[in-house]
Amino acid sequence: MDLSQLQERVRLELLRRIERGTLSVSMLARQTEFGQPHISNFLRGKKGITLKALEKIMAAQRLEIEDLLPSRRELSGVLNEEQIEEVVWIPLVSHGVAMQDPYIRPSNTLRMLPFTGDAVRGLEARCSSVRKQWNRFVAIRISAEDARPMEPLIKPDSVVLLDRHYTSFHSYREGEANLYAARVGSQLVVRYAQFEAGRVVLRAYQAKIKAEVIQAKPEESAHDLLAGRVVQRINPD
């Protein structure tokens, strides 16, 4: 099931709730702060919605993946494992949690976001044995200020999916520079990162912005400055 199919399941569940009398278009508009015409167009199947809008609707209605999909037990009799895993739910976390927390607890999760299984399946890992003990995938949101040096590659309010098991400076794909979430002081920034002369060089997409050079502390390695490789970018429409 891809994201468009997931949207359809959310739409059908909302229509069921409206039919049961537990929800109305006006109520959903108040909960999400979306206009009623926008919601009506979605419910009638005339227009799709963005990932951000989908997560807001699901949060407002306390919709979880279990509400939308058959259970694994029900699926296992008719689908193979790969098909069951077509949708994965990744925790959206703060920048600080993405940088520092090996294990993502429910209390540190802002929201669970849907991604297609292909986004995370079969990815190569390159990190220390210690880092391999960390929960692997997290998503973070990029503010307008943080996005500015990387526009139009990354736009304000984008969501990026991070692989925290890839903290190597080795190119993931030959001839392509890796895009990382990197720690600069107490901040997390998304930049192209390379290891040069014992230091980490961070470069923006905007050529006019000067590269930033950072150095690991004596007790850490340069790899520790990388929170993870950017696997996927979801820009708002």
Contact 222, 199 (CB under 8 A): yes
Judging by DSSP bridges, how do beta strands 158-163 and 137-142 pair with one another? antiparallel
pLDDT at 223: 94
Output the six-digit token pair for 12.
Answer: 């059908």
Contact 116, 90 (CB under 8 A): no
pLDDT at 180: 97
Contact 169, 175 (CB under 8 A): no
Hey, which bits of the chain come out as E strands? Answer: 87-92, 111-116, 137-142, 158-163, 179-184, 187-196, 199-203, 212-214, 226-234
**Contacts by residues 155-160 (CB-CB < 8 Å, ≥ 24 positions apart):** 155/235, 155/236, 156/236, 157/52, 157/236, 158/233, 158/234, 158/235, 158/236, 159/51, 159/52, 159/92, 159/113, 159/233, 159/234, 160/190, 160/230, 160/232, 160/233, 160/234
Sheet with 187-196, strands from edge to edge, namely 111-116, 87-92, 137-142, 158-163, 226-234, 179-184, 187-196, 199-203, 212-214
pLDDT at 117: 80
pLDDT at 169: 94
How do residues 62-91 score in pLDDT, each as one tens digit?
887 656 654 444 334 444 444 444 678 888
For residue 87, give the amino acid letter: V
pLDDT along the chain (237 residues), means of 10: 69 83 90 91 84 86 68 42 62 92 85 82 92 93 93 92 95 91 93 92 93 90 95 84
pLDDT at 137: 94
Placement of tokens 């200020």 in the chain: 145
Contact 182, 202 (CB under 8 A): yes
Domains of the chain: 3-69 (1.10.260.40), 88-234 (2.10.109.10)
